[in-house]
Structure 1
Amino acid sequence: MKLNTRITKMLGIDLPIIGAPMFLVSYPDLVVAVSEAGGIGCFPSLNYRSPEQLKDGLQEIRSKTKKPIGVNLILHKSHNPNWSKQLQVVLDAKVELLITSLGSPRTVVNEAKSVGAKVFCDVTTLKHANIVAKAGADALIAVAQGAGGHAGNISPFSLYPYLKKKQVYQLSRRVQFLAVHRCWPLFR
């Protein structure tokens, strides 16, 4: 089955499913499974402690699938001092999607677009959304309260409509809007 949406066309995938880049969860087998199922499997670069290990992880994934994959890069130096080296590894591997978190994506957007990759950026406020839209991001990922990871503290019931109204329709019609509501627990 193949669905025709802005996201599937943009990423060259069959289904509008982005396998979340979850720290210490999204390893090669999960990334490959999501991509092979028609979505795009993603993982955080911080799952690998060095740029060399990241390169090895990407080679393992590429040996198992030729489908599009994505990598999440945390751009804040205090959280990820190797982000610029990791970016180069990801660009060399021709990863189709980069997801940025915690920092300005300006450098990533320019370098990723030069090799044909798409850039989606996590945002938690309108201020963040404005920064990434002006930097040239292809999509905003609205990360609200309860989403897990580096989530904002605003309810998804107010953040999503507000960002969609203010950001997507007024600032730039070319920027895609994605919403992350919550990471559901495995057990209740």
Structure 2
Amino acid sequence: MALPALLQNLSLPAVCSPLFIISNPDLVIAQCKAGVVGSFPALNARPAEKLEEWLDRITTELGEHNAKHPDRPAAPFAVNQIVHKSNDRLEHDLEMCVRYKVPIVITSLGARVEVNEAVHSYGGIVLHDVINNTFAR
């Protein structure tokens, strides 16, 4: 399988871990400008309405960077979504990811067809965080 076009300009083939509470727009933007996939958990943006502010800032700043540095574009960013049924924000957060066309969505604690379909609808990539055999199946 060929590397998706979205990932061909990485300086390192790495996804910076979406760290609970720690990862934020400043860190994600710096990671992407350095050429690695920057990521954050959607649940770090609190309250839920903050997620749109974060996505707007990240997409705007990376777009500006890419316009100024066409020879050195930023790497894509990722949002980690907890897809377990206990996450009452999933529908809202997924809607924001679709609105901002988040390039990569990482799912944790399961896989949901509707998440895959939503992200694939605009050409995004879905990665699944698999921690054991249960989630691998």
Q: TM-score, normalised by structure 2?
A: 0.81
Q: Which runs of 4+ in 1 moved over 6 A?
A: none
1:1-188 → structure 2 map (5 Å cutoff): 9-14=5-10, 15-66=12-63, 67=74, 68-78=76-86, 80-130=87-137
| Cα-to-partner distance string for 1:21-68 (whole Å, 9 max, x where unaligned) | 101111111101110011110000001123321000111112221331
Instruction: Tell me how far apart the structure 2 counterparts of residues 8 and 29 of structure 1 sit (CA, whole Å).
Output: 26
* Aligned partners of 2:109 and 2:135 also within 8 Å: no
TM-aligned CA deviation for residue 129 of structure 1: 1.6
* Aligned partners of 1:27 and 1:43 also within 8 Å: yes
Larger radius of gyration: 1
Q: TM-score, normalised by structure 1?
A: 0.61
TM-aligned CA deviation for residue 10 of structure 1: 4.9
Instruction: Tell me how far apart the structure 1 counterparts of residues 30 and 9 of structure 2 sit (CA, whole Å).
Output: 13
* Aligned partners of 1:87 and 1:108 also within 8 Å: yes
How many residue pairs end up in the alignment?
125
% of aligned pairs identical?
37
Gap runs ≥5 in structure 2: 64-73
Greater relative contact order: 1 or 2 (C-alpha under 8 angstroms, separation 6 or more)? 2
Gap runs ≥5 in structure 1: 1-5, 131-188
SS in structure 2 of the partner of residue 91 of structure 1? helix
Instruction: Tell me how far apart the structure 2 counterparts of residues 40 and 8 of structure 1 sit (CA, whole Å).
Output: 13
| Cα-to-partner distance string for 1:81-123 (whole Å, 9 max, x where unaligned) | 1111100101110110000001332211111111100000011
